[in-house]
Amino acid sequence: MSTQTQAQALALSGSRKRWLKDRIAQIGVTTGGILVLVTLLLIFLYLLYVVKPIFDSARVEPGAEFSLQEPGAGSGISRELGETVLLGVEEQNELVYRFNDQGDVDFYSLPQQGKRVHSLNIDREVTSVARSISHNMVAYGLIDGTIMVLTPKFNVSYPDNIRTIEPQVTFPFGEQPLVVDEAGQSLTQLSVASQGQDLLVAGITELGRGVLTRFAGKENFITGEVELNSTHVEIPGLPSDVDQLLLTPNLRFLFARSKNEVYVFDVRNLNKVALRNVLTMNAKGANITTLSLLSGGNSILVANDNGKISQWFEVARDGKREFIFIRDFATQGAVTQITSEINRKGFITTSSTGSLDIFHTTGGSRLFSAPLAESPVSALAMSPRNSMLLMQSGDTVSTFYVENEHPEVTWRALWTKVWYEGYPEPQYVWQSTSGSSDFESKLSLVPISFGTLKAAFYALLFAIPIAIAGAVYTAYFMSSGLRKVVKPTVEIMEALPTVILGFLAGLWLAPLIEGHLPGMVILLVMLPVSILVMAFAWHHLPKSLRNWVPEGWQCIILLPLVILVGWSSFALSPWVEDVLFGGDARGFLTNELGIGFDQRNSLVVGIAMGFAVIPTIFSIAEDAVFSVPRHLTNGSLALGATTWQTLTRVVMLTASPGIFSAVMMGLGRAVGETMIVLMATGNTPVMDLSIFSGMRTLAANIAVEMPEAEVNSSHYRVLFLAAFVLFIFTFMFNTVAEFVRQRLRDKYSSM
């Protein structure tokens, strides 16, 4: 084989190897890109999978039903049913209990098709009856002005590893009747509420007197028994015709309804019982059918015969607290029954048309509505876990399985102002947990979304001018030798762990700024001014002196100036604070200017997170400016343009797609930052643009609360929704960035 033929064979072999390597690289890059897209899509779908259940509507499915006429165990006879006072079911949804207005208590087993398994009768003449809102407790008013208080109890045992639930009736305040009216008159109306070992009873006697009795429980130190001390007073200003009495569980208020007027009494101190105000609570053109309390007893629900239910609670206005109308709900037909959910701010109603509706007050939403009753409903109850609904029509009790896991999460509750219990006005609030079981979850994503954008804004406000100006100077004006040192040094800053930056910001920078507020202001003003003065002086120095500094090294002479101005600003800070602000600049801001100051605030975050974002923006922007073709700058200079004109009218325009991409990459980094904002913001979810106030961001909120969230709870899923919102934020920013970058590239690519 000739030498020429061997050379051709080697060339052909090399071409094949290069082709094979190119194909492998192409396949590898394509596969990697596809895998990245698939990963992003899977993350997106998983977030949707976790988030979707919180937006599902409530579902109600029919369960078992049974007749109350079933004979008692071993008796062979049926008793008179009477009117149901309290209907309920224990936590396992196996035993149903029913208290009637004649003193009968019955327990029915659902697994045994509603068989009555236990019964009790107080064997007294009952003249009135009431149930407690906060506890499954029933009080029977007797003919001699006394009451007996009963509550159901369930003992759970596991003989032979089989769960057995044994029902019984207990007397939480003793089996002996409690004297409510010292005159011994029978009670025609009754309301009770208990808190701890205290019991408060309000009643109306047969002669129309309003009586109020408080039984204060105190444990005997020797015997361990609870002794009750009673206090009796008459209710002043009570109307002559009272339709309903209602005590709040905190033993603070008594509501007395007379037709459409509701009298509100302050009963915290029985020695100073006072009529607070009289409210007309009926809906326009309608009459009140009943009053009920929401879980926790802070809100009162007013049902009307036109299907309207209104919510009222106490609000501070003009230096005093009063009950005001908050919101209303609508059903089809007059409201016949209303009951509140256990430990949630929801309630269920039935109407004269047989419709059953499920509402939740926080979002002001109706979650379910359907005609479920063919005859009038006489009793309605929800199970302790809010998973089973009991409805009595005639002598039949029907059960319904309820799926309503996340009623407090609605689009309105997440993104609009909500009027929460006790708040003076509708607000955006994030407060996911509390020590109280009847806490109203506040899951607005607006404050933490606002905090995310605020933190990013102040970080970019600090980082963009420094990063872009530094990138332009480094790529266009700096000498190549100095650039080889400066560019890697700035880029290596990106390797600093953000937890270290957050630690320094929270424990060193925040106290430093708080103690030197005037110094910070002086620094922000004097640093740019001094640099401009230095540039002006440099420009007017003799050329012979300027030539001592090599071209592209002029920035070095600014380092001593920056250090000197920084040190001087902080050194002068105590003197300025003493002279101008009486030694307390922070107090001057708060007391004189009305500007709140948090030690960990947006200024601290802007500096710390800006320091973390600068390397990202600098690196990309510097590459974009440095990559501008030399023939463009040389041509501009050859046509007589100055260096500055060439920079602003040629280089910056050509590099604008890359600079814009750098800014958007920095924005994406700032939006997703976690550790710095977690440690340097105070993590208070407030909506305040002030640079001296803190914030809470989406990423920090997820990091703080996810370890404490109960799996699959509303709180847990809303945190995933926050992650989804963060995902959408970054996706939108990247999409807009890519769109603008392509437009800029198309516009200036022909230069």
Report all structural domains of the chain as residue ranges with CATH numbers, in order of start.
446-746 (1.10.3720.10)
| Orientation of helix 602-626 relative to helix 652-672, angle to 10° | 140
pLDDT of residue 748: 63
Answer with the residue of higher pLDDT: 437 or 245: 245
Asked if the model's pLDDT at residue 691 lies above 70, the reply is: yes
Report, as an integer, the average pLDDT of 424-453.
86
- Positive or negative CA dihedral for 659, 660, 665, 670? positive
For 401, 481, 566, 605, the CA distances from 521, given in Å and listed in that order, are: 64, 36, 11, 16
Asked if the model's pLDDT at residue 74 lies above 50, the reply is: no
For 454, 502, 521, 588, the CA distances from 688, given in Å and listed in that order, are: 9, 22, 21, 19
Judge contact between 86 and 136, C-beta under 8 A.
yes
C-alpha span between 346 and 472 (Å, rounded): 60
In the chain, % of residues over pLDDT 90: 35
**pLDDT single digits (tens) 496-511:** 888 888 889 888 998 9
pLDDT of residue 72: 43
C-alpha span between 500 and 608 (Å, rounded): 10
Q: Which pair of structure tokens corresponds to residue 413?
A: 């509750």
Nearest to 167, CA basis, from 255, 82, 97? 97
Nearest to 80, CA basis, from 91, 69, 89, 72? 69
Confidence of residue 397 (pLDDT cuts 50, 70, 90): very high
C-alpha span between 511 and 89 (Å, rounded): 57
Report, as an integer, the average pLDDT of 683-695.
87
Report, as an integer, the average pLDDT of 214-238.
81
**pLDDT single digits (tens) 336-358:** 899 998 888 999 999 888 889 99
Confidence of residue 437 (pLDDT cuts 50, 70, 90): low
Cβ–Cβ contacts within 10 Å for residue 293, how many? 21
Report, as an integer, the average pLDDT of 157-169.
88
Report, as an integer, the average pLDDT of 409-433.
90
Judge contact between 619 and 474, C-beta under 8 A.
no
* E strand or H helix that includes residue 214: strand 210-219
Q: Which pair of structure tokens corresponds to residue 434?
A: 């509390």
**pLDDT single digits (tens) 531-590:** 889 888 888 888 777 778 777 787 888 888 889 998 999 888 888 888 888 888 888 888
Judge contact between 736 and 744, C-beta under 8 A.
no
Cα separation of the two ends of the chain: 53
pLDDT of residue 361: 92
